[in-house]
Each structure stands twice: as structure tokens, then as C-alpha cells.
Amino acid sequence: MVDKKAQLKTKKLKTPKLKFWQSQKFPISEIPSFQLSRKKRGQLKIQQMAFMLMAVTLFFVLVGMFVLVIKFSGLKDTATELCEENAMLLVTKLANSPEFSCGRAFGSSRTNCIDGDKVMMLKENIEIYEKFWGVTNIEIRKISDEPEKVCDLGGYQQDNCNVIRLISKNVSGYSMSNFVSLCRKDYVDEEVYDKCEMAKLILSYEYGERC
């Protein structure tokens, strides 16, 4: 009988002591450590979702910037091509304008033929027409291996120059040229004849002036 009582006491001593929340038989969802772990997992999921949204947004922003760069570079190239085309059209238009063209002074009407005598008279009064064409430079350059020599009225009459410079401004911009025939009336032994030479009509205008 004494042995049985001793065994019961021993068993009671060996029985582990339950924690407060274990003795109260709380649901597992109400355990403090479980609630803390679930809260951390929720915060982690929110952070992962925020990073994912930021990554997706950044990706689409980069794609949009890439598309815009390509698009605007294409527009710039197109604008440059249009400016060059306009410059070429202006060269042709100027060569065939009444102030420059040969008309019928050298026989039949000719295309891209410039009357040198008419141009030299225009050069003497160029301030009247300086803003008429909206360009910064106009010059006619003979195709020649001789060193550059700008024509004045006396040099032109003696035929010892090769550049007729009508307008010359030191500005940067678009430049375009086209081959033309530069014709004039010349004299040999008191006989008048038509003298035509190959030349280049060169125009330039400031950036933004016509584009």
C-alpha cells in the first residue's frame, strides 16, 4: 500500500507542467506566437506584391521610353530629309526664277540656265532682295581648278574670277547645291557670242528658317 502511494507521487512529480495557454485549451489560432507568425507572413506577401508591381511598372516605363526614342529618332530623320528636299526644290526654283534664269536671251528657253549678266546686276542691288528668298547664302561657283576668286563687276567683265557671291552670312544651317549653266554675252574681235560654263548654284539657310 505504501509502495502504491509512492508510485503515485512519483508519477505526479514526473508529469510536465502545462503552460497557461495549454491548460486553458485555447484554439490554436488564438495562440500569441501563431498570431505573430501569421501577421509576418501577411506583411511579407504584401511586400512581395509591392515589389512585383514596381517591377512591372518599371518594365513598361522602360519599354515606353524605348518606343518613344525610336519614334522620335525616325521623326528627326524624316524632318531632315524634308528639309534637304525643300532646299533642293528651292535651288531649282531660284535657278529658274526671273531674277536668275536665262529666259530666251541665249536662243531657246533653257532649264537651270543662269544669266551671268543679270546676276551681276542683281549683285549690285542685292540689299533690296536680301530677305526675299529667306536664305542666308547664295553663291554661284564655276567648275574650275583655278583658285577661288570672288567676282566684282570689273573682274566679271574681264572673265578672271570664278565665284559670284550674292548673299553671304556667317551662320550654320542647311546647304544644298545643283549644277547649272552659267551663261553670258562675250566679245571676240567685236563680235558678240554666247559663252556658257558649267557651274554650281549653292544655297544655304539657317536651322529652323524653313523647317
| pLDDT tens sequence across 153-203 | 777 777 788 899 998 887 767 778 889 999 988 888 778 888 889 999 998
Strands across the sheet containing 163-168: 113-115, 173-188, 191-206, 137-142, 163-168
The residues with which 176 forms a beta bridge, in sequence order, are 203
Q: Which residue has the higher pLDDT, 85 or 142?
A: 142
- CA–CA separation, 183 and 142 (whole Å): 11
Spans of all domains in the chain: 20-71, 86-206
Residue whose C-alpha is closest to residue 87's, from 175, 194, 185, 184:
175
Residue 207: the pLDDT is: 63
65's grid cell: 521610353
Q: For residue range 31-68, what is the model confidence (pLDDT) as tens digits?
A: 555 555 666 676 777 777 888 888 888 888 888 887 77
Average pLDDT over residues 82-109: 81
57's grid cell: 511598372
> Which helix (H) or strand (E) is 166 found in, with range?
strand 163-168
Q: Which residue has the higher pLDDT, 4 or 59?
A: 59
- CA–CA separation, 134 and 93 (whole Å): 13
Residue 198: the pLDDT is: 93
Residue 90: the pLDDT is: 81
In the 8-state DSSP scheme, what is residue 16? P
Average pLDDT over residues 7-29: 49
Sequence-separated contacts (24+) of 123-128 with Cβ below 8 Å:
123/153, 123/164, 123/165, 123/166, 124/153, 126/166, 126/167
Of 3-17, 46-60, 96-110, the poorest mean pLDDT is in 3-17
Quick one: residue 23, left, alpha or beta (phi over 0 = left, psi -120 to 50 = alpha)? alpha
In the 8-state DSSP scheme, what is residue 172? -
Name the pLDDT band for 21 (thresholds 50, 70, 90). very low
- CA–CA separation, 78 and 98 (whole Å): 32
Q: Which residue has the higher pLDDT, 115 or 22?
A: 115
